[in-house]
Amino acid sequence: MILPAIAAGFGAALVVISGNPFSVQAQDAASEAVQSPAPPAAAPPPPDPAAELAAKRDQTRAELETLSKSISLSSDKVSELQQSIANLEKSTQSIRQALIDSAARRKGLEKQILESEKKLADLGVKEDGIRRSLHERRGLLAEVLAALQRMGRNPPPALLVTPDDALASVRSAILLGAVVPGIRKETDKLAADLASLAALQSASTAEKASLTSTMTDGIEEERRMDMLLAENDKLSRSNAAQLEAERKRSEELAGKATSLEGLVASMESEIASVRDAAAAARQAEENRRLLTDEQRAQAKALADSGVPDKNRIAPAYPFGELKAKLELPVAGDILRQFGDADGTGHEAMGMTVATNAETVVTAPADGLVVFAGAFRSYGQMIILDTGDGYHLVLSGMDTINTRQGKFVFSGEPLAVMGAKRVASATALALETDRPTLYIEFRKDGKPVDSRPWWTAKDTGKARNDS
């Protein structure tokens, strides 16, 4: 009862507070708190920061998926894309390079989207924390805000401004000295909280605007890649009948094979395009071994210049020399590494990366596509022969955009992830419904840890429930 009366007399000194931009919010909060005081309750357990962040990321991701469905390209932008594809030189080399460039841009945009997603989730958690703090202190804040409202009245009551005698003045001074510092402390804390809340909301708005622009660019790049893939298909239509026959034969062989080793062996012996390409690649690899040191140095310098032979049928580099140089085939978060528990009581033979929906999958290195299709519990799978006795296995995709017997370059788009995680033996015990790509490196038929090959920035590991 004393606090409001004492605070009321301080109006002349603190009337400027009524000009605070948060005064309307403060008055609303005060009225609400005074009208419905919360009964005392047991303090809830403190929230788990990691679980709170994971939940906020899931919520943010769902909002972004809804947003992406509402974004569409204008007819002018589509016409511009079509014209840019029409102006391309219609050759295998030019289309392939355009695909590699498009895939690089698309992966860059996907990484930006993932980073924005994480930023928005972090901002959301901080915003929720401030709101929770304000809610928990609503009783105290109601008293402070009510006092501030009374202090802001003009003219102020004369209770403390014009005391009747010296004794009353002394009493007023004592009471003001005891109470005002407490009011000022809580007022400063409230103002700081409200300012932080406003700053977080402003940062979230700016990040969402930037993210919307990035997602629009991503949709544009996705459309460009679809057009390039269509052009690429036109260039190979002369062998359409042969390719269809090989596809059916590869499905039969995949149905009979009981292991990856058996599948690779059957592909290289039964599928003509794979057999011929593998033989040519092995011959090119053998020719490279016969080069003199000077010739090998010249070939390496040419490859390092960024313009390796666009007609090559063998890797530009020996695979063993590519350690710490490969980029992950998708933009995403690593959930499981080689050697981790795989959910079946065994160790994982590869790594698992969680991605966003419809993320592009690119070739980590130059290689011959030995197999492209569905295989047992792996689901949709691609096997690349990268030379030096190494094979790279990718599985968990939704749509495959390459075929067996084709030699692909590093960075070339191979497939697209789906909207949700594909059920498979390689994705057991993962606390996520995001699409997941399984990556396995094999040397002479045996799984090996792929971590030495990835660039340093890509070797981190995220939470299992990211």
Element of type H or E holding 375: strand 367-375
Nearest to 366 by CA among 325, 398, 416: 325
pLDDT at 45: 63
| Sequence-distant (≥ 6) Cβ neighbours of residue 64 within 8 angstroms | 113, 117, 211, 215
pLDDT at 59: 79
Contacts 24+ apart (CB under 8 A), 150-155: 150/4, 150/7, 150/8, 150/11, 151/7, 151/8, 151/10, 151/11, 151/13, 151/14, 151/15, 151/17, 152/11, 152/14, 152/15, 152/17, 152/18, 153/8, 153/11, 154/11, 154/12, 154/15, 155/11, 155/12
SS3 343: coil
pLDDT at 400: 93
pLDDT at 36: 46
pLDDT tens, residue order, the chain (466 aa) = 334 443 444 333 333 333 333 333 434 443 444 444 445 555 556 666 677 777 777 777 777 777 777 776 677 777 777 777 676 666 677 888 888 888 888 888 888 888 888 888 888 888 888 888 878 777 776 776 676 666 665 554 544 445 555 555 555 555 555 556 766 777 778 778 888 888 888 888 888 888 888 888 888 888 888 888 887 777 665 566 677 788 888 888 888 888 888 898 888 888 888 888 888 877 877 777 777 777 667 766 665 655 556 667 778 778 888 888 899 999 988 999 999 987 778 888 999 999 988 899 999 999 999 999 999 888 899 999 998 889 999 999 999 998 888 889 889 999 999 877 666 656 666 777 788 999 999 999 899 999 999 986 655 555 444 4
Say how far apart CA 50 and CA 121 lie, in whole Å. 11
pLDDT at 4: 42
pTM (2 d.p.): 0.68
Nearest to 390 by CA among 449, 462, 303, 460: 449
Q: How far is CA 429 from CA 36, 150, 336, in A?
A: 47, 60, 10
Nearest to 51 by CA among 128, 130, 110, 111: 128
Q: What is the DSSP letter of 292?
A: -
Q: One-letter amino acid identity for 406?
A: K
Say how far apart CA 12 and CA 452 lie, in whole Å. 71
pLDDT at 167: 55
pLDDT at 204: 87
Start-to-end CA distance of the chain, whole Å, equals: 51
| Sequence-distant (≥ 6) Cβ neighbours of residue 462 within 8 angstroms | 333, 334, 335, 354
